[in-house]
Amino acid sequence: MNRCDHTLKSRLPAEQSRLPATTGFRTLQAGRMAYRPALDLQERLLSERPTWNHDLLILLEHDPVVTAGRSTRQQHLLLSPQQLAAHSIDYQETGRGGDLTYHGPGQLVGYPLFDLSLCNRDLHLYLRKLETVIIETLAEFGLTGQLSAGRTGVWVGERKIASIGVAVRRWISWHGFALNIANDLQGFDTIIPCGLHDTRMTSMSECLQREVDLTRVTQCIIEKFSEVFALPYLGDYHEKRES
């Protein structure tokens, strides 16, 4: 442990300095959900995470929604929440980092509830690993993903294909990434995505000019998480129910 890590740990309450054990990660593939119930699900599972010996990757699709992060500027919202509702698009403010983004069916959203001690409690390293997972997934489909200096996310050429916005609570990550696979990109026309005026969004289907199977991409994402984070995949997560 370096000096910086020791100093940080010594300032934490005793119950917070004991890191959750991580034997690997499980997945909760939740299907399609509205944003608010998915956020409530994250919150509940995040509170349970310190009692587990594994990490959790929640994977799902959202009903159409625009979400605002902590860095959102209202001028980046091109339609009011009322106008969005008239187009059957929800609007939700969140506690994640970043600006505005759009979620909709055909887009794979991932919420990793991961112990960041695996990344030496280095948030930037964690973000780079998330980007690497996406870049290596794209490569499996013949697409070259790349980074943009000073910006978080993944691009293919000049177009952005994946957005990332995370939050951390007691060194456990939540919120996460959104990879455009076969979603309707018109939803992004209601915002300045991520506050980047010069960025156009794209999807895997648009880049490849063919249909892309979301299930296949999901399985590839899981494989790449295991490789990039050097964690065994432990299978599906099954919630315990009271009888």
For residue 163, the enclosing domain spans 21-231
Domain assignment present for residue 185? The answer is yes
Q: What pLDDT score does 147 carry? A: 95
Instruction: Identify the residue whose tokens are 């915002």.
Output: 191
Quick check: is 37 in a domain?
yes
Residue type, 194: C
The CATH number assigned to the domain holding 34 equals 3.30.930.10
* Three-class DSSP category at 213: coil
* Number of separate domains in the chain: 1
Signed CA dihedral, 171, 138, 177, 218: sign only: negative
The burial of 75, by beta-carbon neighbours within 10 Å (0-12 exposed, 13-18 middle, 19 or more buried), is given as exposed
Instruction: Give the DSSP H or E segment for 141.
Output: none
Does the residue 238 lie in any domain? no
9 falls within a domain: no
Q: Give the residue from 150, 171, 149, 153 showing the smallest Cα distance to 161.
A: 153
The reported pLDDT for the residue numbered 204 is 98
Identify the CA nearest to 123 among candidates 134, 139, 112, 135: 112
Distance CA 66, CA 87 (A): 12
Q: Which of 4, 119, 194, 207 is catalytic?
A: 194
Asked if the structure places residue 240 within a domain, the reply is no
Strand ranges in 14-137 using DSSP code E only, listed in sequence order:
25-33, 55-62, 65-68, 90-93, 100-103, 107-113
User: Active site includes 194?
Assistant: yes
Say what the pLDDT of residue 196 is.
Answer: 64
Does residue 2 lie in a domain region? no
Residue 96 per-residue DSSP state: S
| Residue 34 lies inside a defined structural domain of this protein | yes
Note down pLDDT in tens along the chain; length 243 residues. Answer: 333 333 233 333 333 444 456 899 999 999 999 999 999 999 999 999 989 999 999 999 999 999 888 777 788 888 889 999 999 999 988 878 778 889 999 999 999 999 998 888 999 999 999 999 999 999 999 999 999 988 889 999 999 999 999 999 999 999 999 999 999 999 988 887 766 667 899 999 999 999 999 999 999 999 999 999 999 999 999 876 433
